[in-house]
Amino acid sequence: MPDNTFSAMRQSIVDGAPDTAANLAQQAVAAGTSPLDAINNGYVPGMHEVGEQFAKGQMFLPDMMASAEAMRAAMAVLDPELKKVGTERPLSGVVVLGTTKGDIHEIGKILVGTLLTAHGFRVHDLGVDVPGEKFAAKARELNADIVGVSALLTTTMRNQRGVIEALEKAGLRSQVKIMVGGAPVSRRWAEEIGADGYAKDAMSAVDLARELMQQKSAIAEHA
């Protein structure tokens, strides 16, 4: 796919233009472009630019909402394409996913869920603004292997620790691996709160989830 198409995708997000974003995604699918390339090289850079402009006071909340709408329109086209990869795979593991309490950012988390599904994981997405107890209850109900917690605000990333505490309180911590992510989150933060891993993007989340499943089976073999 030519660079100017990626740059048009990026611009459709900055402009908050859902129809353009969706049309470009359809063209990409028709041209056989990898949906992940379109997301990573086209749409996500647009989101980053929106974040930068918002931080500088050059964009406001309604603009950021329009950009999110454009991203959703592109994802509605690309999501089924991403999921096609996973249809014939054996079950890799069960993941409970959600955005932490106080936080309504969901685009990155949805992308993580889509790629995990595409790579054979069964994903239950709890949505946004999810308290720790709800993660724990769903993990118990589904006998989950992994809990993935997203946070996009510096004020809500500390609630990731709350999810770990809720799993400990429910007596599930030794059975469930925890991975964290989101723009302000880092490997160091993951270590500080006692998570099992950090992923910087959706594809790294798939790699990490696979690694965590290997760790789980190694523990089971030695038990």
Q: Which two tokens stand for residue 202?
A: 């959706």
- Measured CA to CA, the distance from residue 19 to residue 12 in angstroms comes to 9
Beta bridge partners of 198: 180
Q: In the window 163-192, what residues touch ligand HCB (CB under 6 A)?
A: 179-184
The binder of ligand HCB chosen from 202, 206, 212, 213 (CB under 6 A): 202
The interface region with ligand HCB, picked from 58-66, 133-141, 162-170, 210-218 by CB under 6 A, is: 58-66
At 124, phi and psi to the nearest 5? Answer: -110, 115
- Helix or strand holding residue 9 (H, E): helix 3-14
Q: Which two tokens stand for residue 65?
A: 């909402």
- Measured CA to CA, the distance from residue 28 to residue 123 in angstroms comes to 26
The binder of ligand HCB chosen from 14, 22, 70, 107 (CB under 6 A): 107
Closest CB to ligand HCB: residue number = 108
State the DSSP code for 63. H
The binder of ligand HCB chosen from 47, 77, 212, 213 (CB under 6 A): 47
Contact positions vs ligand HCB (CB under 6 A): 44, 47-48, 50-51, 54-55, 61, 64-65, 67-68, 102-109, 111-112, 148-150, 152-154, 179-184, 199, 201-202, 205
